[in-house]
Structure 1
Amino acid sequence: MLAFIAPLALLLERYWGYPPSLFERIGHPVVWFGRLITALEQRFNQGDAPARRRGGVIALALLLLAAFVPALIVQQTLRAIPLGWVLEILLATPFLAQKELGRAVRAVATALQTSLEAGREAVSHIVGRDPQALDEAGVARAAIETLAESTSDGVVAPWFWLVVFGLPGIALYKAINTADSMIGHLNDRYRDFGWAAAKLDDWVNLIPARLSAVLVTAACFFVPHASPGLAWATARRDAKKHDSPNAGWPESAFAGALGFRLGGPRSYDGELVDLPAFGDGKADLVASDILRALQLYRMVLNMLLALSMGLALLIFAAGQ
C-alpha cells in the first residue's frame, strides 16, 4: 500500500485540509519551520557579505537537518508497524495546500464582488504587494497569479518530492520553500544570507514547475473556453521572462489557458517594480475571472490526482 500514500494524501487533504482546531492547538509544520528560520537568521545573519553568505548556508543546513531527521525516523518507524502507512498519509497532508489555496483565492473573488476595499483586504492575506495600490483588475490579477504560482510550489512540488523520497522528501521541500519565501529576497538584509535558500529552492522546483504547466495544459481539455494550445505555447514563450527560472511556467500557462495577461508593474512597500507580462489576453480582470481560474485549478488537481493514482498502480503492479 506504500505506493498509494501520495494519491491518498492528495485526496484526503483536498477535501478535509488541515483542521483549524489542530492549528490552534499545535500550529502547523510551516509555522514551525518559520520560527526556526527566524531564530537561525537572528543568530547567523551577521557580519560582512561573505560572513552572511556562510551563515545562510549553515542556517539552511541546520533547517534541513531539523526537517529531515525527524521525518526519516517517523517514516521508518511507521513502515515497521501494521497500518503505519495510514498514519504516513495523515502526516503528509499538512505539507500540501490544495484546500487552503482554493479557499483563500475564492475569498478574494467573493470579497471583490462586494467592494474594491473588501477585495484589497482579502488579497492582502495571500500576496506581498501593496493592496492599496491595486484597482479591481489588479486585485483579480494578484489572486490569479498567486493561484498559478502556488499550484506549483504549494501542491505539485510537495507531491513530487513525496513521490520521490517519501515523508522526508516532502518535509525537506516545505522547509526549503518556506526558507526561500522568508529570506530568499534580493534586498540588503537577505541578499547574501538568503542566497543558498533561494538557489536550492530554484533547484527543487525545476521539474515541478514545468510539470505544473503540463498539468494546466492537460486540464484545459476538460474546462470550457480554456485553450490547451495557448496554455503550452504561452508557457514556452513567456516563462523565461520571469526572474525566477520556475515561477513563470505555471503563471504563463494559466495566462495562455484562460486568455489573460498576467504580471506587469506592481508595488512593494511603496516601490514600483516593473515586471514582465505573461500572455496576450485581457488584463482588465474581474471577480468572475478569478472564478474561471479556480475552475481551471480544480481540474489541474484532478489531473494531478489521476497522474498520482496511475503512478501508484504502476508501482504496485511492478512490485507484485
Structure 2
Amino acid sequence: MSLELTLALTLAALLFEAAFGYPSLLLARIGHPVMWIGRLIALLDRHLNRDAAAPGERRLAGVGALILIVLASGMAGLVVQVLLMRLPFVGLLLAGLAGSALFAQRSLHHFVAQVADGLDESLEAGRRAVSHIVGRDPEKLDEAGVARAAIESLAENYSDGVVAPALWMAIGGLPGAAIYKGVNTADSMIGHRDARHTHFGWASARFDDLINLPASRLAGALIVVAAVFVRGASPWRAITAMRRDAARHRSPNAGWPEAAMAGALGIAIAGPRHYGGKLSVDGLMGEGGRYECTANDIRRALALYRAADGVMVALVAALALVAWG
C-alpha cells in the first residue's frame, strides 16, 4: 500500500473515531478488536505458559506466542484491507471506518472526564471512575492522587492509544496498526512482572517498548506544540520537563508524554504509587510543579489533549496532501 493511501487511510480512521467512537451496538453484538486479540492472548497464555517449565522454556514459549500474535493481527488487518480496498474511494472510507476501531481518542476523553466529574461529586466517586483507567490501588488515593492518576493515564494513553496506532497505520496501513494493537494488548495482559509472566511475557513487554519508542517522543512533541494554543499552558515548561524528567520514569516511553503534560500545565505527577498493595517509587514528572492536583487540572489536561490530538490530525492531513500532490 502506497504512502499516500496509508496517510489517507489514517486520516479517515482518526476522523471517524473522533466523530463516532466505537458503536455500543457493535460492542454488544460482536465485541471489540482488542477483545478478540485478548482472547487469543489468553488462549496462548493458558496453553503455552506451563507452570512446570523452566524459565528459559517459558521465555522461549513467550517469544513463540508473540510471533503468533503478530502474525494473527497482521493477517487480519491485511485481509480486511485487501477486501475493502478493491472498491475505489468507497473502499478507502470503509477501511478507514474499520481502522477507527484501533484508536481510542473519544473513549479516552470520555473516561478521563468521568474522573473529573466523579471528583466533583465525592472522593469515592472519583476513585470509582479512576479505577477503570489505572491499575493502581484506588482506595489509597486522596483527591490529589486521583487527579494525578487520571492525568498520567491521559498522557500515557494518548501515546499508546492514539499516536502510536496512527503512526503505525501511516507506515503500514491496517496491518501495521493491527500488529501494534496486538503487541500493546499482549504487553498489558502478560507483560507485567508477576510470578506467572516474568519470563513468558518478557518478549511482549520488550517488543512493546521498542515499537512505542517513536510514538512516545512524537506524543511529547505534539503536547509541546499544543501548549501554544491552550490558555495557561507553557510549551517552554513542557520542553524543559520532558528533557529533564522523561528519563526518570520507570518506563522508557511513558515519561515523555507525562513529563510534557506536567510541564505544560505547571503540575507534578507520577512519583510513589501503590500497585497490588506494593509501593512503586517512580520519578517525578514536572518537578517543581504543583503536586496537589484537582478536578480542574484534569479538565485543563483534557483541553491540552484535545489540542494535541487536533495538531496530530492536522499533521496527518498535511502529509496526506503533500503525498497526493
Q: Give the TM-score normalised by structure 2.
A: 0.96
Structure 1 residue 190: Cα displacement: 1.0
Equivalence for 1:42: 46
Equivalence for 1:145: 152
Quick check: 2:12–2:93 contact (8 Å CA) kept in 1? no
Q: Give the TM-score normalised by structure 1.
A: 0.97
Equivalence for 2:307: 299
Give me the whole-angstrom Cα distance separating, in 1, the residues matched to 2:165 and 2:119: 30
Aligned with 1:277 (options 277, 284, 289): 284
Q: Secondary structure at the match of 1:205?
A: helix
Equivalence for 1:18: 22
Equivalence for 1:218: 225
Aligned with 2:65 (options 34, 59, 68): 59
Structure 1 residue 70: Cα displacement: 2.0
Equivalence for 2:85: 79
Equivalence for 2:119: 112
Structure 1 residue 181: Cα displacement: 0.7
Deviation per CA, 1:180-204: give whole Å up to 9, x if none. Answer: 0111112221111011101110111
Give me the whole-angstrom Cα distance separating, in 1, the residues matched to 2:295 and 2:95: 38
Quick check: 2:274–2:280 contact (8 Å CA) kept in 1? yes
Give me the whole-angstrom Cα distance separating, in 2, the residues matched to 1:215 and 1:283: 23
Structure 1 residue 139: Cα displacement: 0.2
Aligned residue identity for 1:287: A
Structure 1 residue 245: Cα displacement: 1.2
Give me the whole-angstrom Cα distance separating, in 2, the residues matched to 1:181 and 1:74: 25
Aligned with 1:162 (options 142, 154, 169): 169
Q: Secondary structure at the match of 2:197?
A: coil
Equivalence for 1:199: 206
Q: Is residue 313 from structure 1 mapped to residue 321 from structure 2 by the alignment?
A: yes
Q: Secondary structure at the match of 1:222?
A: coil
Q: Which moved more, 1:60-69 or 1:72-81?
A: 72-81
Equivalence for 2:182: 175
Give me the whole-angstrom Cα distance separating, in 1, the residues matched to 2:80 and 2:24: 24
Aligned with 2:34 (options 30, 44, 48): 30
Q: Secondary structure at the match of 2:231?
A: coil
Q: Secondary structure at the match of 1:272?
A: strand
Q: Is residue 8 from structure 1 mapped to residue 12 from structure 2 by the alignment?
A: yes
Quick check: 2:85–2:92 contact (8 Å CA) kept in 1? yes
Aligned residue identity for 1:308: V
Give me the whole-angstrom Cα distance separating, in 1, the residues matched to 2:41 and 2:105: 24
Q: Superposition RMSD on alpha carbons, in Å?
A: 1.0
Give me the whole-angstrom Cα distance separating, in 2, the residues matched to 1:276 and 1:81: 51
Equivalence for 2:197: 190
Quick check: 2:216–2:254 contact (8 Å CA) kept in 1? yes
Structure 1 residue 56: Cα displacement: 0.5
Deviation per CA, 1:214-250: give whole Å up to 9, x if none. Answer: 1000001100010101101111111101122111100
Structure 1 residue 272: Cα displacement: 1.3
Q: Structure 2 regions of 5+ residues with no counterpart?
A: none
Deviation per CA, 1:278-311: give whole Å up to 9, x if none. Answer: 1120010111110000000000111001101011
Q: Secondary structure at the match of 2:64?
A: helix
Give me the whole-angstrom Cα distance separating, in 2, the residues matched to 1:73 and 1:17: 23
Q: Structure 1 regions of 5+ residues with no counterpart?
A: none
Aligned residue identity for 2:153: T
